[in-house]
Amino acid sequence: MNGKVDKPMIELCNISKRFIKKLDIVAKMVSKLGFSISEEVVHALDNINLKVYKGEVVGIAGESGCGKSTLGRIVAGVLEPSEGKIFYNGHDLKSLDQNESKRVAIQIQMIFQDPFSSLNPRMKVREIIGEAPIVHGIIKSTELDQYLNNLMPICGLKPSYKNRYPHQFSGGQRQRIAIARSLAVNPEFIVCDEVVSALDVSIQAQILNMFMEHRRKFGFASLFISHDLSVIEHVSDRVIIMYLGRIVEEATTENLFKRPLHPYTQALFDEIPSFKKRHINFSPIKGEVPSPFLPPSGCHFHPRCSKKMEICRKEEPKTIIVDTDRLVKCHLF
């Protein structure tokens, strides 16, 4: 983990991502007339530093709008960061030539939340799973059938399904197809964005079991994004808690769930429903996640924090290393 000597497989350095809402034509004209109208900017990610080592599963948790999906998409190469660098096995992704970056691109796969929109409805399962390995020369097109016969059963799909279309499957089976598609190119790294959120509990358990079995078998590393903290705890080696585009705490799963440090993490953990918590009197954190258009000054969490101090409103807290291997971004430490 953080004390490890080997090089990280993926390293993000000072990654920021801003989404800008461009001015419409009226606003442009008005601003030409000398009125000051500025573009609206969302700081989806603010100075993110993150390392993921070989074979490691890093869980990312946070509420909607905290930037966890944006982070996943940037790592998967779907989005470009506005600032900062991404290193893959020590190489800056920007410095690679076209062939090299193609090779890197297939090493990093992504599985999406909604298996109803992530699979092309006009393609058969054989094309969905087989397209990438053929295009990238991993297999010849004549070997596809054999390849699918091996791959589909380990994802819990009957090889006879390969000539069906996505609409002929249930949500759980579609997610299995999406997983098979990502495994088809033998990736080193898989970004999982809320992969079990849309599934029923019993199906969710099947998919989580399959994910963990494949991880042991194939040894890929993963960024596992979920708003469900019990799922995160179950699959991750290390966990990152995000709030409004910033990482507020990072620790090994065991340490984090044993002793959360950041007031936000503590509040989140208090609210995880569980079988053990019966007939409780709910006591919520006050307020909602503020709009990312207008994040609060200083520490973003201060308006909702039970331990806020004068300084929290004025200054952004620094990221502090605690107990040698955990990071926390809070003025209390």
Partner 1 sequence: MIFTDKELVVDGLKTYFDTRAGLVKAVDEVSFKLSSGKILGLVGESGSGKSVTGLSVMGLVDPPGFVVDGKIIYQNEDILSLTDKELRRFRGAHIAMIFQDAMMSLNPVLRIDTQMVETLKAHQNISHRAALSQAAEALTQVGIPDPQRRLKSYPHQFSGGMRQRVAIAIAMLNDPAFIIADEPTTAIDVTIQTQILYEIQKLCSQKGTGLLWITHDLTVVAGLADEVAVMYAGKIVEQGSVDNVLDRPLHPYTTGLIKSVPAHNRRGQPLNSIQGMAPSLVDLPPGCSFRERCPRANGLCLEDPMFSTPLPEHNVRCHHPHTEHGGVE
Structure tokens at 290: 């503020």
Which position among 96, 208, 320, 332 is part of the footprint of partner 1 (CB under 8 A)?
Answer: 208
> What is the spatial distance between Cα 211 and Cα 181, in angstroms, rounded to a whole number?
13
Q: Does 325 bind partner 1 (CB under 8 A)?
A: no
Q: Does 257 bind partner 1 (CB under 8 A)?
A: yes
Q: Does 235 bind partner 1 (CB under 8 A)?
A: yes
Kindly identify the residues of this chain, within the stretch 105-144, that bind partner 1 according to CB under 8 A. Answer: none
> What is the spatial distance between Cα 138 and Cα 185, in angstroms, rounded to a whole number?
7
Q: Does 231 bind partner 1 (CB under 8 A)?
A: yes
- Residues paired with 52 in a beta bridge: 10
CB of 255 to partner 1, least distance (A): 12
Query: What is the SS3 assignment for 149?
Result: helix
CB of 269 to partner 1, least distance (A): 10
CB of 332 to partner 1, least distance (A): 20
CB of 276 to partner 1, least distance (A): 8
By C-beta, is 108 or 199 nearer to partner 1?
199
CB of 236 to partner 1, least distance (A): 9
Alpha carbon dihedral 13, 269, 222, 215, in 10-degree steps, equals 160
Q: Does 202 bind partner 1 (CB under 8 A)?
A: yes
> What is the spatial distance between Cα 203 and Cα 150, in angstroms, rounded to a whole number?
23
Q: Does 63 bind partner 1 (CB under 8 A)?
A: yes
Contact range with partner 1 by CB under 8 A, out of 8-16, 17-25, 145-153, 227-235: 227-235
DSSP 169-224: S-HHHHHHHHHHHHHTT--SEEEEESTTTTS-HHHHHHHHHHHHHHHHHH--EEEE
By C-beta, is 82 or 252 nearer to partner 1?
252
> What is the spatial distance between Cα 57 and Cα 190, in angstroms, rounded to a whole number?
9
Cα separation values, 168 from 118, 172, 181, 197, Å: 15, 12, 17, 21
Interface residue list for partner 1 (CB under 8 A)? 63-64, 170-172, 200-206, 208-209, 212-213, 227, 229-231, 233-235, 253-254, 257, 267-268, 271-285, 288-289
